[in-house]
Amino acid sequence: MKNLADLIADPQRIVYQKAIAQSQLSDGLKLKFGHADVLVYPLTTAEVAAIVKYANDNAINITTRGAGTNLVGSTIPNGGIIIDLSLMNKLIELDKQTFTVTVQPGMLLEDLQQFVEQHDLFYPPDPGAKNATIGGNISTNAGGMRAVKYGVTRDYVQAIEVVMADGTVLNFGSKNVKDNTGLSLKHLFIGSEGTLGIITQCTLKLIAKPKVFETVILGFASLAQAVANITTILQTLTPTALELVERQVAQWGERYSGFQFPLADAKAYLIIMLDALDTQSILQQRQLLLANLSDCRYYVAETAQQANQIWAVRGSLVRAVEAVTEQDPIDTVVPINRIADFITFTKQLSEETGVRMLAFGHAGDGNIHLCILRDGRSNSVWLTQLTQIHEALYQKCHELGGLPSAEHGIGTAKVNYFKQAIPEKNRHLMQLIKQQYDPKNILNNQVYITQN
């Protein structure tokens, strides 16, 4: 691969074989590691295009990565070239007239959000990993807690610049609000996990920044009562966020964050965030919300500090688990009315297997997150039990009309469950699209779309 160095302006941005850090050979979990011949840090679209063309001409695998927060193995390479886009993190343009911002794919989500909010604008997608890159968010169609009101990443991608598998640079979409001019090709790349092309620039839709936020906690005597009120809430108003946490799960966040959750004697909670452009609108939303609820008590955060502490407890659940033991994260989605059924099943499965599991999630869209705790099990025991638990969980999810991924993607970790959930004819069509865009199968060929 010595000719590859001729394509990069600075040779120091190329790392070879044994010098590649282990962290660059894995995903966000750092539990499985691949191998690669070379790691490249491009700075421009032209450099990415040159690298991809070189790889295509020589039939060399490419794995694309950003901040490395992926949780399903999509960034674990199987040889060849790693293209790390983290240095392509520049802001290209803020266009207040069209409510758009154009950035390189390596810009971090938290940096983008902080920047636009300084200009009284708002980028709503809000997945848990704020240190993820925008390119990664687009590649996995990231969601987050605010999806119940504002939608997911797909809903905010106006245009993308993509390097195709042969090194050709194409642009899809525009700053126009409406577009029914031919097929919307940009949507093929959103959520495709780097299998169809490499995003090198993106134009994102912004909205006016809400001026007022409010956090309300609803406490219930049982999980069933909490879930029964979800539909009522969504029929009454559209909250910014609607999160479901049981008391025993909230205690993990309390211990880790040091903050006490309100309504400590409740068995289950719905955590609600409201937003508006003025205080009067917030008060109207709250009154409407509380007037239609049943079987619950409520707590309204009176200060920003109180609200931040509540969300700190919710946001620290995964870190709280990881501070104690290794965990396997599960990301599933079921119809909203089947949330209680799925969580109840996880409890039964936990009792049957003796493996602790913590379930919580985005109640407003049925996205359940589950932490499966290793608790000191040996590798052989852990892997055996984990496989059995995965099969049971995804089978139950399928029976309830759910899907194996809401926002993490499929990657390498969920290939079998992807096959179970998606009809063979549909998968075949996906493979045909992949073959058309990447006939030599060099782009992220370790992940699900290439698997028969």
Residues 281 and 380 in one domain: no
Are the C-beta atoms of 224 and 284 separated by less than 8 Å? no
Residues 217 and 310 in one domain: yes
Residues 184 and 235 in one domain: no
Residues 226 and 300 in one domain: yes
Give pLDDT, residue 127.
Answer: 92
Do the bridges between strand 14-16 and strand 357-362 make them parallel or antiparallel, or are there none, so unpaired?
unpaired
Give pLDDT, residue 117.
Answer: 97
In a domain, 189, yes or no: yes
Give pLDDT, residue 450.
Answer: 63
Residues 203 and 217 in one domain: no
Query: Could you give the CA distance from residue 50 to residue 44 in angstroms, rounded to a whole number?
Result: 10
- With a cut of 60, say whether residue 276 has pLDDT above it: yes
- With a cut of 60, say whether residue 190 has pLDDT above it: yes
Mean pLDDT estimate for the chain: 95
- With a cut of 90, say whether residue 128 has pLDDT above it: no
One DSSP character per residue, 161-194 reads: EEE-TTS-EEEEE-S-S---SS--THHHHTTSTT
Give pLDDT, residue 121.
Answer: 98
Query: Could you give the CA distance from residue 255 to residue 316 in angstroms, rounded to a whole number?
Result: 10
Give pLDDT, residue 6.
Answer: 85
Q: What is the pLDDT of residues 37-79, one digit of tens each?
A: 999 999 999 999 999 999 999 999 999 999 999 999 999 999 9
Give pLDDT, residue 317.
Answer: 94
Q: What is the dihedral of CA 438, 9, 42, 60, to 10 degrees?
A: 30
Question: The domain containing residue 26 runs over which residues?
Answer: 2-86
Tell me the backbone φ, ψ of residue 348, rounded to 5 degrees. Answer: -65, -40
Of 397, 388, 310, 387, nearest in space to 359 by CA: 397
In a domain, 252, yes or no: yes
Query: Could you give the CA distance from residue 315 to residue 241 in angstroms, rounded to a whole number?
Result: 13
Write the CATH number for 266: 3.30.70.2190
Residues 158 and 246 in one domain: no
Mean pLDDT in residue range 352-356 = 97
Write the CATH number for 133: 3.30.465.10
Of 204, 115, 100, 103, nearest in space to 152 by CA: 204
Query: What total of structural domains would you count in the chain?
Result: 4
Residues 179 and 138 in one domain: yes
Mean pLDDT in residue range 326-331 = 94
Mean pLDDT in residue range 187-216 = 97
In a domain, 138, yes or no: yes
- With a cut of 80, say whether residue 163 has pLDDT above it: yes
Residues 121 and 227 in one domain: no
N- to C-terminal Cα distance for the chain?
A: 30
In a domain, 444, yes or no: no
Give pLDDT, residue 26.
Answer: 97
- With a cut of 80, say whether residue 318 has pLDDT above it: yes
Report the SS3 class of residue 202.
Answer: strand
For the question of whether the overall pTM of this predicted structure is more than 0.85, the answer is yes
Give pLDDT, residue 292.
Answer: 85
Give pLDDT, residue 24.
Answer: 97
Give percent of the chain with pLDDT exceeding 70.
99
Write the CATH number for 44: 3.30.43.10
- With a cut of 70, say whether residue 452 has pLDDT above it: no
Mean pLDDT in residue range 219-224 = 94
- With a cut of 80, say whether residue 451 has pLDDT above it: no
Residues 114 and 154 in one domain: yes
Are the C-beta atoms of 244 and 226 separated by less than 8 Å? yes
Are the C-beta atoms of 7 and 51 separated by less than 8 Å? yes
In a domain, 101, yes or no: yes
Write the CATH number for 390: 3.30.70.2740
Give Dmax over CA atoms of the chain in angstroms. 70
Mean pLDDT in residue range 215-239 = 94
Q: What is the pLDDT of residues 243-259, one digit of tens each?
A: 999 999 999 999 999 99
In a domain, 439, yes or no: no
Query: Could you give the CA distance from residue 44 to residue 38 in angstroms, rounded to a whole number?
Result: 18
Residue 260: band (very low, low, confident or very high) from pLDDT cuts 50, 70, 90: very high
Give pLDDT, residue 294.
Answer: 81
- With a cut of 60, say whether residue 1 has pLDDT above it: no
